[in-house]
Amino acid sequence: MDITVYGPLRSATGEKTVSLAFEGETVADAIEAFVDVYPRARSQLYDGDELRPSVRVALEGERVDLETPCPENAELALFPAVQGGL
């Protein structure tokens, strides 16, 4: 599985796109597998055990929810919340 990360998640991975082995079933499982490999990403994606409502996930370029089936060779994109403003 290839996962492309945006914003501050790059500091957790060191790269824009990373590959990881994935044997789960859903997008939620894929995100957990990602966080297992890149634990520094957890604080940017989760509040406690819940994915932050501001996190956006795309599967093969389409926005999806956490229960969407996710094949092992999928391409995911993770968009964490980005704070800004004046």
Question: Tens digit of pLDDT for each residue in 69-86?
Answer: 999 999 999 998 766 545
Structure tokens at 51: 């994915």
pTM of the predicted protein model: 0.89
- What is the pLDDT, as a whole number, of residue 85? 46
What's the rounded mean pLDDT across residues 36-42? 95
Number of neighbours of residue 82 by Cβ within 10 angstroms = 10
**Average pLDDT over the chain, rounded to an integer:** 91
The CATH number of the domain covering residues in 2-79: 3.10.20.30
> ∠ CA 80-84-86 to the nearest 5 degrees?
170
What's the rounded mean pLDDT across residues 14-24? 93
Domain extents for the chain?
Answer: 2-79
- Contact criterion met (CB below 8 Å) for 45 and 56: no
